[in-house]
Homo-oligomer: A and B are copies of this chain.
């Protein structure tokens, strides 16, 4: 008998082809985007695998409900802060994530936000379309060059390194802060220098947040940290919203204590603070880090491979700690 997989979100089916051949896969009914928590709670005992989306809460109560049959929570995300990992480990449920396909597209977007803010791309594109709102001229609409400037990367994991590669090609200096210093070969490859968190904030022209979200990184950037940054500095967050104190940032942007910000994630989920929406020195994107046709298909294939390999043997991207 085929193993049963419950997918919480209505995705393109293309990337799930192989999984659908080998397993019995349930998606939300056509026309509906997602199952609710209550629906999943109801159905879960009949499934071997829960294929959760990054924003679907997988708590202890839900996992206990899935037992004894539930063996695997296969998360469609690089992160797994939506899952109670200690409980999963304790209950003997395997958790997997999909780190691969998100690295380059997220670094790509982070770099795009850096340019969009520094060179005012979104701002001028808006104003060009409003009659009389934009003035042309050699000293108008000036931004900042990035070449020659310093990028400070907070969190030098896969995405941080992919961003460093782009910055180096853009003739930028790279400094970084990380829990642990990375291998000297990696530092050399990107010309990246390890500095303290404070030094990074003080010296960087661009500060990019690329750490995972946890209690330790909650509001890691707030009023005090912003105060250390240069008045010409630009803050980029493509990681998780609550890492940055959004209202403190909005206030600093409003008072031009830093030059600008590019945000792909927000402290209160889909509810972007009204204070940010009114500012023209911030570029806002609705969690587009992995929002491409390519990634959707690649992640579906990755999540499928995790499930197939879990049962058939082969590499699985297993989460072993919070």
Contacts and interface: CB of A to CB of B under 8 A. Distances in A.
Closest 8 CB pairs of A and B: A112-B115, A169-B169, A104-B147, A145-B294, A122-B122, A122-B125, A145-B292, A136-B270
Interface stretch (A8-16, A195-203, A214-222): A8-16
A286 interface: yes
Counted per complex, copies of this chain come to 2
A122 B116 contact: yes
Interface stretch (A90-98, A151-159, A277-285, A312-320): A277-285
Contacts of A283: 121, 125
A124 interface: yes
Chain A, interface residues (CB within 8 Å), range: 35 or more
B170 A108 contact: yes
13 contacts: A104-B170, A112-B119, A116-B116, A119-B291, A124-B288, A125-B126, A126-B126, A136-B287, A140-B286, A143-B291, A143-B292, A148-B294, A168-B169
Contact of A296 (B112, B138, B170): B138
A227 to B, nearest CB: 23
Interface in A107-132: 108-109, 111-113, 115-116, 118-122, 124-126, 128-129
